[in-house]
Chains A and B, each alone.
Chain A
């Protein structure tokens, strides 16, 4: 009798808790869902081939697109990856393999501080380093800002991933007479690579969404640009400019650009999801 009451109570509590958890999940998903819905519903109207491929039109002219901003964002992100990936991954590997000493703690502390610096401040630094010395806004400056932003998370994540590689694998490689540095590169890093790439792609996706550090580094450009020493359009800055404009057409285009950016970032995250693959020597 007592047993039955007990199990009934337990069942009710079980349902109750499951219900609570479900509510929490729904509440967490609601903002995400509404953002998605808003961007898709408002942005879908602007989407067209010409919107994706053409240069922006002048005020008052109809048509035009954000092709140069899409290319610009990809260009900036590639530059950021070229600068940020080696630095972040290198620092992470160092921290995991040799980070026990004083230099290790110093690097870790620096990464932590850098991670909490607001992105706009990083933009100022890139401004000081590149824009002020070259006397012009440039893709390079924007890429540098985004690259610096990627480093701290990348370093920490890489450290974690490398630490996850079992010591027995290192031993297996060393016992074959493989030198320590090559063991790190060819076995440890390769084993951790799926996870690192995953984090790197997510970091790149996040960098693609940054606006503040780009405002005074890569600035904007009405035309196509593939030169690192020239100002470059980017989706985020384009959204910013369009959104604060008084013209209805531009505001529509801001929603359209936002949707494009969302798709781009979504695509990168999806790619990150499928990066765990086997490798070969």
Chain B
């Protein structure tokens, strides 16, 4: 089976500080890869390299290869916008469009890319998937900023789902959510697996165990260990991994 995403010798910098050091990872299609590791270890930087968001920051650059279906995402022939339509992203901090309504926020990816769809159907489906429909169905035209932080985060997930990417990058999507909404999102991820490949950053070990097939443990910009989630959490090969997953450090 060929990998959906194949990362080899990936290095990333912010100006002179190196945030990622020689990362090699593969993600198979329709699988969930969880990225865990202490704060500041480069998890966000890693996922942002996969859809070329990293290079947009001033002074940021990266090196190495990222293959999507065997195609180099950093090749000049591939337009970054085309890539980003195939590799969607939910950011660590909710970033709804403040000037747009709830409805237009969800549909923004389709409308701005001039994609014609049954908007109402997309709207209801994605909002139901993110457990937001019942909370917002009566005020779809009001400002997205009127929603609570957790609702805004789910709106961002709905917005990413609406464009139907092949790969979904989620950077701590549940960090601002209560247990019920978190459970809904985890359910959603399970359901999405059949159609999408998912890379999810999480600080919650239990969540990683519940939702992921594979886990990669990062520390100080390096990939310490990766493997099947069950394996990594029960019989880690490295002492550092064991210390982290058992809560002795990090």
Contacts and interface: CB of A to CB of B under 8 A. Distances in A.
Contact of A178 (B56, B89, B95, B113): B113
B56 A280 contact: no
A173 B84 CA distance: 10
A97 interface: no
A46 B56 CA distance: 62
A186 B113 CA distance: 11
A4 B80 CA distance: 68
Interface stretch (B34-42, B102-110, B239-247): B102-110
Nearest to A193: B99
B77 interface: no
Contacts of B107: 281
A175 B85 CA distance: 7
Nearest to A191: B99
Contacts of A278: 99-101, 143
Given A169-B95, A171-B91, A176 B101 contact: no
A281 B100 contact: yes
Contacts of B80: 174
B97 A176 contact: no
A281 B51 contact: no
A190 B86 CA distance: 26
Given A175-B89, A177-B109, A178-B112, A280 B100 contact: yes
A279 B56 CA distance: 27
B43 interface: no
Interface string A163-184: 0001011111111111110110
Given A279-B100, A281-B112, A176 B159 contact: yes
B84 A187 contact: no
Contacts of A176: 84-85, 88, 108-109, 112-113, 159-160, 163
A168 B84 CA distance: 16
A230 B81 CA distance: 50
B82 interface: yes
B220 to A, nearest CB: 25
B53 interface: yes
B172 to A, nearest CB: 15
Contacts of B88: 175-176
B195 interface: no
A193 B100 CA distance: 13
B111 interface: yes
Given A169-B95, A176-B160, A191-B99, A281 B104 contact: yes
B156 to A, nearest CB: 7
Interface of B: 51, 53, 56, 80-86, 88-89, 91, 93, 95-101, 104, 107-109, 111-113, 143, 156, 159-160, 163
Q: Which 7 A-B pairs have the closest CB atoms?
A: A177-B85, A176-B109, A168-B95, A177-B84, A172-B95, A175-B89, A178-B112
28 contacts: A166-B95, A171-B56, A171-B95, A172-B95, A173-B97, A174-B80, A174-B81, A175-B89, A176-B113, A176-B159, A176-B160, A177-B81, A177-B82, A177-B84, A177-B85, A177-B86, A177-B109, A178-B81, A178-B108, A178-B113, A182-B112, A183-B112, A186-B112, A187-B112, A279-B99, A280-B104, A281-B100, A281-B108
Given A171-B56, A174-B84, 10 more contacts: A171-B91, A171-B95, A172-B96, A173-B97, A176-B85, A177-B81, A177-B83, A182-B112, A191-B98, A281-B107
